[in-house]
């Protein structure tokens, strides 16, 4: 089930028609109140969220969704008329998985929905390991196995890979990676992250391609 939160009835109906005609179950909601009510009844597989909503805008709604254990992992695409880089980065930093700027093509919207749903299955994780796309991280032994071969990573490379795999499909900004892996003393030195991503990709070989660069923002595992 896909929720489409959009206050413009014409746009909402067009999106619903397009999703339903391509095989998705989808319902339309016009504001945060209807969204909150519907979330009490069902947890959707994905939310399409307009930014410019009455009373409570999309950015505030993202904050609420990501702060709740029940809704923090729901895939979310922003629909926004705000095309500035700042607004896009702000939405991604708050926890949006993707954004589409209005006006948008319906075929692109459906393609983005399908792509996000494909990559939104979380990696299998046990108490001591994370497994995804042929990569296994043993968090207790601090070992990484890629395609059945042990990969020798530095401590920072290990923590970087662990952070990205644990948040599979979610964009993580360079500043967030710096803060959580290197600490505040490295604040602003985003080249440190880029350099470690480069060597990490090289060590992972062909699997290094799953680390996707989000231009002007950061990185994610695709």
* pLDDT on residue 136: 93
Tokens 């393609």 correspond to 111
- Name the phi and psi angles at 30, rounded to 5: -100, -15
* pLDDT on residue 144: 95
How far apart, in whole angstroms, are the C-alpha atoms of residue 164 and residue 132? 11
How far apart, in whole angstroms, are the C-alpha atoms of residue 209 and residue 221? 9
Q: What is the DSSP letter of 178?
A: I
Tokens 């948008």 correspond to 104
Angstrom distances, CA of residue 19 to CA of 24, 37, 47, 193 = 5, 22, 12, 38
Beta bridge partners of 138: 129, 143
CB 171 within 8 A of CB 219: yes
Burial of 161 (0-12, 13-18, 19+ CB in 10 A): buried
Q: For the whole prediction, is pTM greater than 0.75?
A: no
How far apart, in whole angstroms, are the C-alpha atoms of residue 86 and residue 217? 10
* pLDDT on residue 126: 57
How far apart, in whole angstroms, are the C-alpha atoms of residue 169 and residue 97? 7
- List the chain pLDDT tens, one digit each, 222 residues: 999 999 999 999 999 999 998 888 899 999 999 999 999 999 999 999 998 898 899 899 999 999 998 898 899 999 887 767 777 788 888 888 888 888 888 888 888 888 888 777 655 555 688 988 899 999 888 899 998 899 999 988 999 999 999 888 888 888 888 878 877 555 556 788 899 999 999 999 999 999 999 888 889 997
């Amino acid at each position: 089930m896909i929720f489409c939160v959009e206050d413009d009835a014409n746009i909402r109906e067009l999106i619903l028609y397009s999703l339903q005609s391509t095989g998705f179950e989808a319902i339309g909601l016009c504001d945060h109140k209807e969204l909150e009510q519907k979330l009490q009844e069902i947890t959707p597989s994905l939310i399409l969220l307009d930014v410019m909503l009455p009373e409570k805008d999309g950015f505030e709604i993202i904050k609420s969704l990501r702060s709740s254990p029940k809704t923090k992992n729901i895939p979310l695409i922003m629909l926004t008329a705000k095309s500035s880089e700042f607004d896009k980065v702000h939405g991604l930093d708050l926890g949006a998985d993707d954004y589409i700027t209005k006006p948008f093509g319906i075929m692109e919207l459906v393609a983005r929905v399908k792509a996000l749903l494909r990559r939104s299955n979380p990696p299998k994780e046990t108490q001591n390991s994370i497994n995804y796309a042929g990569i296994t991280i043993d968090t207790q032994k601090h070992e990484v196995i890629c395609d059945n071969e042990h990969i020798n990573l530095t401590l920072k490379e290990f923590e970087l890979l662990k952070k990205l795999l644990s948040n599979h499909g979610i964009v993580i900004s360079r500043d967030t990676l710096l803060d959580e892996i290197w600490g505040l003393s490295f604040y602003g030195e985003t080249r440190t992250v880029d350099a470690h991503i480069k060597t990490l990709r090289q060590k992972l070989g062909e699997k290094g391609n799953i680390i996707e660069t989000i231009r002007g923002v950061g990185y994610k595992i695709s």
